[in-house]
Structure 1
Amino acid sequence: MGALLDQKYEKLFALLDANGDGVIAEDDFELMGSRVLAAFGEERTAPKGKEYADAMTTYWRALRETADADGDGRIDKGEFRQALRQVSDQFDVLIGPLYRAGFHLADRDDDGLVGREDFVTVISAVGVPEAEAAAAFDRLTEQGEQLSKDQLMTAATQYYCDEDPANTASHLLFGAL
């Protein structure tokens, strides 16, 4: 793994460790999911809330299955780094649904586009400072434009898999590295 992916995975680990205890566990995914749903005033039982919560569960299970080498239900940084590339290779099946569900949640009027404020809301709810979330939106879109699901999915895929330093917009999806 190259230095750029290593930096992105380090950032991702810090975000997924939602309670800050140094490991990723199921309660981190529950906490992050609750934060995102609360940011949008969405209940877990509502259609968008259920879609998002289910996608969080799928991501957690795939990550645990691949990364939890010692079977203790917790993933440390070493386990995470070794396994994330494998999980990323199955992005469309294991990780993509979470990003699609997050997009659907943020697309409040269901027009297929997400504005800056809603993007910042969801990205901030996962732990990215608001200013960095806003800068990420601006890099992903033409300033003042809205974000399409295709733009988000391309950026997310590149975040997990791409080491080309020219793709700065996707590398900064979750804030500065």
Structure 2
Amino acid sequence: MGALLDQKYEKLFSLLDTNGDGVIAEDDFELMAGRVLAASREEDTQKGKKYAGEMMNYWRALRSSADADGDGRIDREEFRRALRQVSDTFDTLVGPLYHAGFHLADRNDDGLVGREDFVVVLAAIGVPATEAGATFDRLTEGNGQLAKDQLMTAATQYYCDEDPANTASHLLFGTL
């Protein structure tokens, strides 16, 4: 694995370790889902329930592939090793969470996400709002609306791509 993927995986680990205890566990996913739903005001909506469900599906899939010692917690090394496998099955394993997150942020269901809604969701995940805004601007190339295919391309590249030229996707969750 290259240095760029190591940096991205470390950033993702730090975001997923929502409570900051140095490991990723089910409670981290529950806490993050709660923060995102509260920030987006979607706690009791169908979109919110779908997002929370996909968050827990992602946890179960990650635990299944990463929790080598079976203790219900994923440390940094387990996470790093497993992310390569997760990346190979992105569309079925991780993709549904990103789809649900996009629909959560698509407040008016027009197939586009505006900057403010994008920033709200990423800030709830733990990305500083200024960095989330800069990410939105890079992904949309300044056109003010994010389409689902733009997000999915960036997310797939975040997990898999080591080309340093793809800065928009590498900085999906803020600076590395």
TM range (shorter): over 0.9
After TM superposition, the structure 1 = structure 2 runs for residues 40-79 of structure 1, keeping only pairs within 5 Å, are: 40-43=40-43, 45-79=44-78
The one-letter amino acid paired with 2:58 is Y
The Cα offsets for residues 136-172 of structure 1, whole Å up to 9 and x where unpaired, read as 0010012142000000000000000000111000000
The Cα offsets for residues 72-95 of structure 1, whole Å up to 9 and x where unpaired, read as 000000100011110111000010
The one-letter amino acid paired with 2:16 is L
- Report the Cα distance in structure 1 between the residues aligned to 2:150 and 2:49, rounded to whole angstroms: 24
- Which has the higher mean CA deviation after the structures are superposed, 24-33 or 138-147? 138-147
The Cα offsets for residues 39-67 of structure 1, whole Å up to 9 and x where unpaired, read as 01112x42101110111011000100000
- Report the Cα distance in structure 1 between the residues aligned to 2:37 and 2:16, rounded to whole angstroms: 16
Q: Which residue of 1 aligns with 2:37?
A: 37
**Structure 1 runs of 4+ with >4 Å offset:** none
After TM superposition, the structure 1 = structure 2 runs for residues 149-164 of structure 1, keeping only pairs within 5 Å, are: 149-164=148-163
The Cα offsets for residues 121-146 of structure 1, whole Å up to 9 and x where unpaired, read as 00110000001000000100121420
Consecutive unaligned residues of structure 2, counting only runs of 5 or more, are none
The normalised TM-score by structure 1 is: 0.98
Q: Which residue of 1 aligns with 2:19?
A: 19
After TM superposition, the structure 1 = structure 2 runs for residues 67-106 of structure 1, keeping only pairs within 5 Å, are: 67-106=66-105
- Report the Cα distance in structure 1 between the residues aligned to 2:5 and 2:46, rounded to whole angstroms: 34
- Report the Cα distance in structure 2 between the residues aligned to 1:42 and 1:151, rounded to whole angstroms: 23
- Report the Cα distance in structure 1 between the residues aligned to 2:60 and 2:15, rounded to whole angstroms: 17
The normalised TM-score by structure 2 is: 0.98
User: What percentage of residue pairs aligned between the two structures are identical?
Assistant: 79
After TM superposition, the structure 1 = structure 2 runs for residues 87-166 of structure 1, keeping only pairs within 5 Å, are: 87-166=86-165
- Report the number of matched residues: 176
RMSD of aligned C-alpha atoms?
A: 0.7
